[in-house]
Structure 1
Amino acid sequence: MSFKPETATDRLILPLDVPTVEEARTIVAQTKGAVGVYKIGMQLQFAGGLPFAQELAREGQKIFLDVKLLDIDNTVEQAVRNIAKMGMTFVTIHAYPKTMRAAVAGLDAADLCLLGVTVLTSMDDEDVKAAGYAGSAVELVKSRAVAARAAGMGGIVCSPREAGELRDLVGADLVLVTPGVRPVGASADDQRRVMTPGDAIRAGADYIVCGRPITGAADRRKAAEDVVEEIAAAL
C-alpha cells in the first residue's frame, strides 16, 4: 500500500492535543474534510484517546497514532502487531535501529505506515549534546534516516529544515512527515526547527503537522483551509 498523499488536503496532519475526547471530537467536527489526517498523541491517549482513535478510523478518517514506541525488541514487535489491528494509518517508533527492525517484524502485511522519529523538532544542537550525542541535530537525523530506510520503515519524522537533504538521502519511496510547521506570522511556540507549510512542501515533505495555529484559531476550519491553500500553492 502506498502512503503517499494525493491532494493538498491529504498532506495536512492535525494534532488533537487537547485534554479530553469531547474537545477532540469538537475539533474533528469543525475541521472534517479540511484535514487529511488526525494525530492522536500522548496527552489524549491517556484520556480515552485510543478508543476514540479507533472510532474515527472506523468512520474512514486517517489516524496518526503518535506513541513513539521504544522498548525491548519483543515488546515493540508485539505492540506493533496489536496497533496494526486498530485501523491506524501511521504510528511512530523511536528511530533506534534495533527498535525499528523489531517494529517492522511486527508489521506482517498490515496496511500501517511505520514512521521513525529522528530528532524531536523541539530540540536543537545544544539539546542533542546534552542528551549525550557527539554530533549536531542534523547529523543525528541523517544517521537515523539511513537506519530507517535500511530497517524497512515506511517513513520518517523530521524537521522541515532537513526534508530536502533527507529526500536526497533516502530516495522518493519513504514518506517524510514534518512537524514544526507554522504559517507565516504564527508563533513558533516550543518548536525550534520550524518552517512555513509552503516551504516545507517545497523542501520535499510529504505531510506537514500543524497544530496550535489551527486548534487555537477562532475559526478552526478557516485556519485549516488556509494552511491547505499554502500547501497547494507550493505543489
Structure 2
Amino acid sequence: MDNSLIIALDFANKKEVEQFLQPFGDRQLFVKVGMELYYQEGPSIIHLLKEKGHRIFLDLKLHDIPNTVKNAMKGLARLDCDLVNVHAAGGKEMMQAALEGLEAGTSMGRKRPYCIAVTQLTSTSEEQMNKEQLIPVGLLDSVVHYSVLTKEAGLDGVVCSAWEAERIREKVGQPFLTVTPGIRMKEDQAGDQKRIATPNFARNAGVSAIVVGRSITRSADPVQTYQKWIEIWKGVHS
C-alpha cells in the first residue's frame, strides 16, 4: 500500500473506463472508483477491474449511523476491493462499526480491505471550514484531531492533503496510511482543489499514497504521462 500512485477513474461510465485502460494493455494499476462511476455502474465496474488484475480504492466516503455503515461495509467487503473509506466526522463509533462490517463481510482466508477516513476534503479551505462547518480551530488542527480519532477507532489511516501528512505522522505514529488527493504538477491547473501539492512535495512529506486524476486521465498520452508521474513519485527524476 505504501508508495502507491492511485489513478482516479473519474469517468461517467464503463465505456469511458475501458477506453482509458485499453492503451495500458496488461499493465496492472491501482485505480480509484468514486461515486460518479460507482453510482452509474454499480458492482459490475469493480468486477471488471478485478478481472483485469487492478487494485481498487473504492472511494464512497460512507457517513451514516453506525449500524447502517456496518451493514454497508459488510456488503462492500464482498467486492474484494483493496481500500475503502468513511468520513471521520461520523465519529469513533461509526468508524469502529465500519471495521466490524468489513471483517464480517471478508471471506475466510482473505485479508480485509484497508479502511481509511476522510479528514477534511482537499477542496475545503480553512475559511470554509470555519464559516460553514463552524469548526473554530485551524484546519491543520482539525485534520490532526480527526487522524487521532481515526487511529483510536482502529482504522488504517486517513485521507488528507500532503500539507498535513508530516504532522499526522508525528502525532499518530506508524503504521498509519496518509492518502493524498490534490496532487498536481506545477504546470497543472488546481481545478476545484484548494490544498494542492506536487508529487515531489508529497514524497518528501512522507505520504503513503497519492491520488492523481485529470493530469493522467485527460492527457493526450495517458500511458506516457502515467510513467512520468511514476518516475517522479518514486524519485527517479524531479
Indicate how the Cα distance of structure 1 residues 191 and 33 shifts in structure 2: closer, same or farther if over 3 A, else same: farther
Alignment-derived partner of residue 223 in structure 2? 221
Indicate how the Cα distance of structure 1 residues 164 and 36 shifts in structure 2: closer, same or farther if over 3 A, else same: farther
Inter-partner Cα distance in structure 2 for 1:136 and 1:166: 14
Instruction: With the length of structure 1 as denominator, give the TM-score of the two structures.
Output: 0.91
Alignment-derived partner of residue 175 in structure 1? 177
Inter-partner Cα distance in structure 2 for 1:213 and 1:148: 30
Q: Which runs of 4+ in 1 moved over 3 A?
A: 31-36
Indicate how the Cα distance of structure 1 residues 225 and 33 shifts in structure 2: closer, same or farther if over 3 A, else same: farther
Alignment-derived partner of residue 8 in structure 1? none
The structural deviation recorded for 1:32 is 5.7
- Which is further off, 19-28 or 113-122? 19-28
Alignment-derived partner of residue 185 in structure 1? 187
Indicate how the Cα distance of structure 1 residues 33 and 126 shifts in structure 2: closer, same or farther if over 3 A, else same: farther
**Is the aligned partner of 1:59 residue 2:52?**
yes
The structural deviation recorded for 1:61 is 1.0
Instruction: Answer whether contact 2:6 2:31 (CA < 8 A) is retained.
Output: yes
Inter-partner Cα distance in structure 1 for 2:151 and 2:123: 23
Alignment-derived partner of residue 2 in structure 2? 4
Q: 1:136 aligns with which of 135, 138, 143?
A: 138
Q: 1:48 aligns with which of 41, 45, 61?
A: 41
**Is the aligned partner of 1:70 residue 2:71?**
no
Q: Match of 2:127, as an amino acid? A: E
Indicate how the Cα distance of structure 1 residues 31 and 156 shifts in structure 2: closer, same or farther if over 3 A, else same: farther
**Is the aligned partner of 1:112 residue 2:113?**
yes
Counting only pairs closer than 5 Å after superposition, residues 80-91 of structure 1 correspond to structure 2 as 80-91=73-84
- What runs of 5+ residues in structure 2 fail to find an aligned partner? none
Q: 1:202 aligns with which of 182, 201, 204?
A: 204
Instruction: Answer whether contact 2:28 2:52 (CA < 8 A) is retained.
Output: no
Indicate how the Cα distance of structure 1 residues 198 and 139 shifts in structure 2: closer, same or farther if over 3 A, else same: same
Inter-partner Cα distance in structure 2 for 1:30 and 1:124: 37
- Which is further off, 51-60 or 161-170? 51-60
Kindly tell me the number of residue pairs found equivalent between the two proteins: 228
- Which is further off, 70-79 or 54-63? 54-63
SS, match of residue 235 in structure 2: helix
Alignment-derived partner of residue 38 in structure 1? 31
Instruction: With the length of structure 2 as denominator, give the TM-score of the two structures.
Output: 0.90
Indicate how the Cα distance of structure 1 residues 43 and 63 shifts in structure 2: closer, same or farther if over 3 A, else same: same
The structural deviation recorded for 1:72 is 1.0
Identity of paired residues, percent? 33
- Which is further off, 31-40 or 83-92? 31-40
The structural deviation recorded for 1:31 is 3.9
Instruction: Answer whether contact 2:43 2:79 (CA < 8 A) is retained.
Output: no
